[in-house]
Structure 1
């Protein structure tokens, strides 16, 4: 959303004591903000992907639920919040496993895997998400190859694919 405040971080993701308002020009050169994403894995091995709303950039492309961490928010907490806001699914920060980080022009993208997310009906935020699908992980790769995934996700998954495959196969019980 326009107007949200992000912590500005160094290349390691450590806040440098500044914030930047989303949508404002002049993001500081050589610095970053945190973007968190989560790949939810069901017990049957299928993963959740969401289709971006028509009004968003990369409209109607597919992705994992994701968004920017707000000022003062950890990467894991941002992943949990974004998942809940976009899909209605509830995960606990301690249920997340960090797959890896990708450095982009002004963002550090952290991808997490969440196993054992409590069953819940998907409740999609229409401002963010048009549709959702539970698919085999191999279908995510196929969607990258045929142009259905949002462009940034093609590059991200090229870097993180092997780690994502490993993390998605290791089931962890949902913390009580």
Structure 2
């Protein structure tokens, strides 16, 4: 992503304050937030898609679900769709996304979405963002998380959202 990427600064409810923040200018001001959206793609086979962060990124080589910051004027849902397409080449429609939940982090509002898809769509990774991606079952996601193989921010995210994620992934099959 370019360093001129602009984010809406929001309050704790996710309402834009009218202020913009440029990626790379450090964290958003204390007491304010920006929206980060992620998608757990759940295949009809029962497996989910995980991606491994590229070497040059923060938390290099760690696993995650495709994720990124919503851009200026973009909703969490639209940001999630764009990031999924950019990082792993999978396109979903807005109505395909179900909100698993929101985690209020220090300076970000993290939204985890789930999209159920038919089969296991072909993945095309953006090498600047993603080293590799693979379809695994949720037990393997849990194993990697508990083994410390997911990017550090995922520890608190999974701690808060795991049960709902599990129910959401299984509920779509």
Contact 2:44–2:119 (8 Å) recurs in 1: no
SS in 1 for 2:163: helix
**Counterpart-to-counterpart distance in 2, 1:26 and 1:147:** 25
RMSD in angstroms over aligned alpha carbons?
Answer: 1.4
**Counterpart-to-counterpart distance in 2, 1:24 and 1:52:** 22
| CA deviation vs aligned residue, 1:107-165 (integer Å, no higher than 9, x gap) | 00000000026864211000000011100011111111111111111221011001101
Gaps of 5+ in 1: none
**Counterpart-to-counterpart distance in 1, 2:126 and 2:148:** 24
> In the alignment, which residue of structure 1 is the partner of 2:89?
88
> In the alignment, which residue of structure 2 is the partner of 1:11?
12
**Counterpart-to-counterpart distance in 2, 1:150 and 1:171:** 26
> In the alignment, which residue of structure 2 is the partner of 1:24?
25
SS in 2 for 1:8: strand
Q: Map 1:103-142 onto structure 2 (within 5 A).
A: 103-116=104-117, 120-142=121-143
User: How many matched pairs?
Assistant: 172
SS in 2 for 1:80: helix
**Counterpart-to-counterpart distance in 1, 2:146 and 2:28:** 32
Q: CA deviation at 1:93?
A: 1.1
Gaps of 5+ in 2: none
